[in-house]
Chain A
Amino acid sequence: MKFPVPHDIKAKTIPGTEGWERMYPYQYQFVTDDPVRNQYEKDTFWFYDGLHYPEPLYPFDTIWDEAWFLALSQFNNRIFMVPPVRGVDHRMINGYPYISPVPVKDPAEIGRRVPNFMERAGYYYKNWDALEAKWKIKMEATIRELEALQIPRLADMEELAVVTDAIGESKGYHLLKNYDDLINLGIKCWQYHFEFLNLGYAAYVFFLDFVQKLFPSIPAQRVTQMISGIDVIMYQPDEELKKLARKAVELGVDSVVTFSQEWTEVEAALKKLPKGVEWLSSLALAREPWFNISTGTGWFHHDRSWNDQMNVPLSGIATYIGKVKQGISIDRPTEKVRAERDRITAEYRGLIEKEEDRKQFDELLGCAKTVFPYVENHLFYVEHWFHSVFWNKMREVAVIMKEHGVIAEVEDVWLLRRDEIKSALWDIVTAWATGVTPRGTKTWPKEILWRKGVMQKFKEWSPPPAIGTAPEVIQEPFTIVLWGVTNKSLADWASVQEVKDPDTITELKGFAGSPGIIEGKARVCRTVSEVGQLLEGEILVAPTTSPSWAPAFAKIGACITDVGGVMSHAAIVCREYGMPAVVGTGMATKIIRTGMMLRVDGSTGAITIRR
């Protein structure tokens, strides 16, 4: 399979964005001035990580890409010594990250890595539950540390206590130090993120692989169904909304909770009623930590949490109140899901002819079930809880930068790289200490304005799904399971790319995420704030979904996403609700328009647009 040469793509600079490279770390660039690196880049297969980045990265937001660049790679290559793979290399074109798994090429080296891997990974698999319990403690301590972190304002005169307690340090120094601490906590949190994840995915992907060897036609979703119905905390925020809906009906304040879509109005009205106050105290309990859930994936600064945007959970609660009042069950059909899971597992197992294959099936299924909760739960701790708090701490830093005139608006801070922010803070604190004006007040606002224009142009650009030279074999578990990079997906991506006029496309292919066939009207929602427009039974078409989208699933008839595999959020939730999902279509949100009639076949991954 042939894909464009990365350097050719990069060479076609979008007019007006010349010099954009300085917005990102220098090692992310495809280069032409280093022949060895240039050749490596040409010979390598790079695919656009649309799963995580449906839109171009703001300079600051690159922090998480760098964080997982380090964390994933180190765990594969330096800690667990995964025999045939090193890390995953990263590049950037026009704000869109491209990634590539790096193989170990020398068979002798692969062989040498085997015993290390068996010892190290084996230790984690064997002690999974105990180590996972330790992980939770480490992770929660990290989040508490983040929450306690102070971002000090710079006063004209330091407090007297600095003198009387003989502290010997200024707020200026604390600002620099705490900014470093903030960043380091973020990087640390991502270290933990990958502690279990590679192994978790490996267990999962090779269980899938094993079952597909026995049953070559088995849809991947049937395999994931065998590990469904396990309680994971990712469902908890949604469960809290349901609890609050039931509670509102119980207390008779449901009409107050639903009288407005504006949280501030609802809250004010509730405060006037004794029962309303009682409901608000239940809400307060639910909010920490469960409303630290991002309305997006948590990867972007603009993914605000439920706590930041109370209108979002409010609309979810209102949806559930409506269902409760109509006497419709809002419980996840967990019992049904489990019964079906057990039936399916038993029937497939019954078709396995050889005793040793049945034994291997049991082993791998057990292992997949063990790792499954972590594979889901880490998302809540890292991408949702930690990130939600983190973005707001960064906003506190931005407030100070704005006060000192280095940026015009708080939200401008995201247009700087994190090391540029550090430099700007040095500029600010030295100027503050000295009593002069920071140099940045004249340089940054101009640069930020230009960068905003660049970002706009990046958003209008469509990154090709893959560039470089496709390999024969992919061994890196993430690449296989999470991005669903397979021969077939690449060919599907390539074929849609070839169509000139998107208005003539009537067939779209994606992964069969959750079985079933349904016809209905499309509703394209690019962000969770648009889910309020969904009408009962519509088909949700989204770039990707996350747990904060959960209430939407109570309304829709099916779900289609641009990005994600059979383990993605949309696929998992749809299977739990028993509705069709087609995921990883590549470009559904670009081709489908709200109101189009669609036929969604979640068993085959086919979408038909009735034009």
Chain B
Amino acid sequence: MASAASVIERTPADAVKTGLPVVCWFEECRKDSVPLVGGKCASLGELINAGVRVPPGFALTTEGSRRFMAEAGIDREIASLLSGVDAGDLDALEKISEQIRAVIETQPFSIEIEDLIAECYRKLAVRCGMPAVPVAVRSSATAEDLPGASFAGQQDTYLWIRGVDDLLHHMRRCISSLYTGRAIAYRANRGFGGDQVAISVGVQKMANSYTAGVMFTIHPANGDRSVIVIDSNFGFGESVVSGEVTPDHFVVNKITLDIIDRTISQKQICYTVDPKTQRSLAIEVPFERQKVQSLIDDEITELAWMGKQIEKHYGRPMDIEWAVDKDLPAGGNIFILQARPETVWSEKSQRAASGAGGSAMDYILSSLLTGKKVS
């Protein structure tokens, strides 16, 4: 596939300035696209190219957001606001954050950038066969998702966005989310300079999920690499990610893909889309469905298989968000929304099981001496 730069349409002036694209499709992104599209979008591109089913979308690149900030003179304004700020003074940080975010959110994109985004959005709508296709708008920072620097939850996500105007507005909000008080403090403490962290914004078709959740290709409780653990609930994944419900819980053997443990919980709420406002909202799960398994066994197996492929592709345990789309027929309706390296256990190493790594006899002896705990 051609490189991102060569496929993206842009004005001649564009190329003259930096040679980097302002927007690009997910499928044009690779692992090494992180500086251009941030971790999340690069990883989505990587997944698509690994053969994983991902809802389509595009990104406003870091170049795009940088140019937005530069063209409107926002970057200079921010630099002056941030100069001499005390990273330990949270109140002061919050105040500055508010100011910075207001500046960003009220500035329009240049017409050139607006046109490029609108064109991508139109093409996406055509691809999905839906006018004003609802999309998820997420920030995708260049330093997040890296092992050892979990920025999880520090940037915003906006769901069910429809129409170009709303889209542009929320894309600016995503860019501004780089400047929450916490994010400023975090970067300062971790030693990331302001110019080392750039932001990209991902725009992705909303999966109209019947059921959604998260999947780990390692047991989050004990670090067992031979299992895949899936949490699921009806509706969108928000209820699972946010911890608002106790989701259904499945443990799948990674090697044989059979389900070795399942816990079906009472799921009182789920997120669905409000047909009038096109916004997601929490609703009560009908009582008779609360204790129904939210993901059927075949879906669990297929999902786990996908998880295994994703892990194989990245060569490390992964943390994955997924959804089953209700608009599509079984067999082609499970989508991976996000995949990032699992960061908790990958920093620890697998617990050593062998004593001295000696003979079978040594191990048998030391095990006999230890015995099996009963109570």
A residues with CB within 8 A of B: 1, 82-85, 110, 114, 117-118, 121-122, 125, 202-203, 206, 209-210, 213-219, 222, 343-344, 347-348, 351-354, 356-357, 359-360, 363-364, 366-367, 470-475, 477, 480, 485-487, 490, 512, 515-517, 603-604
Contact = CB atoms under 8 A, between A and B. Distances in A.
A216 B350 contact: no
Contacts, number: 148
Given A83-B368, A206-B364, A344-B256, A217 B219 contact: yes
A486 B224 contact: no
A320 B223 CA distance: 47
A86 to B, nearest CB: 13
Contact of B363 (A83, A219, A363, A516): A363
A476 B266 CA distance: 41
B130 interface: no
Interface of B: 219, 222-227, 251, 253-256, 258-262, 297, 349-354, 357-361, 363-365, 367-375
A604 B259 contact: yes
The 7 A-B pairs of least Cβ separation, nearest first, read: A356-B357, A475-B371, A360-B354, A367-B360, A213-B353, A215-B226, A473-B371
Given A215-B224, A219-B253, A354-B349, A118 B371 contact: no
B224 A216 contact: yes
A395 B249 CA distance: 58
Contact of B353 (A357, A472, A487): A357
A118 B353 contact: no
Contacts of A477: 368
Q: Chain A CB within 10 Å — which of B226, B364, B370, B373 has the most?
A: B364
Given A218-B224, A366-B360, 11 more contacts: A110-B369, A217-B227, A217-B253, A219-B253, A354-B349, A360-B353, A473-B372, A473-B373, A477-B368, A512-B260, A604-B259
14 contacts: A84-B368, A110-B369, A121-B361, A202-B364, A206-B367, A217-B251, A218-B224, A348-B226, A353-B225, A363-B359, A364-B360, A474-B371, A474-B372, A487-B374
Contacts of A110: 369
Nearest to B261: A604
Contact of A351 (B225, B354, B365): B225
Contacts of A353: 225, 349-350
B360 A125 contact: yes
Contacts of A122: 361
Contact of A472 (B226, B297, B349, B373): B373
Contact of A214 (B353, B357, B367, B370): B353
B368 A475 contact: yes
Nearest to A481: B372
B352 A357 contact: yes
A364 to B, nearest CB: 5
B363 to A, nearest CB: 6
Nearest to A476: B371
Contact of B258 (A83, A117, A121, A515): A515
Contacts of B223: 216
A114 B369 CA distance: 9
Contacts of B351: 213-214
Q: Chain B CB within 10 Å — which of A85, A122, A363, A474 has the most?
A: A363
Given A351-B225, A604-B262, A490 B374 contact: yes
Contacts of B374: 470-474, 485-487, 490
A348 B352 CA distance: 15
B375 A217 contact: no
Contacts of A121: 361, 364
B219 A216 contact: yes
Given A216-B224, A217-B224, A473-B371, A206 B363 contact: yes
A364 B369 CA distance: 17
B371 A84 contact: yes
Contacts of B260: 217, 219, 512, 603-604
A357 B256 contact: no
A203 B364 contact: yes
A470 B255 CA distance: 36
A558 to B, nearest CB: 14
A222 B253 CA distance: 10
Contacts of A125: 360-361
A222 B256 contact: yes
Given A118-B365, A354-B352, A357-B353, A363 B360 contact: yes
Contacts of B367: 206, 209-210
Contacts of B352: 354, 356-357
A354 B372 contact: no
A351 B262 CA distance: 23
Nearest to A110: B369
A490 B224 CA distance: 25
Given A215-B224, A215-B225, A344 B255 contact: yes
Nearest to A487: B374
Contacts of A351: 225-226, 254
A218 B364 contact: no
Contacts of A1: 375
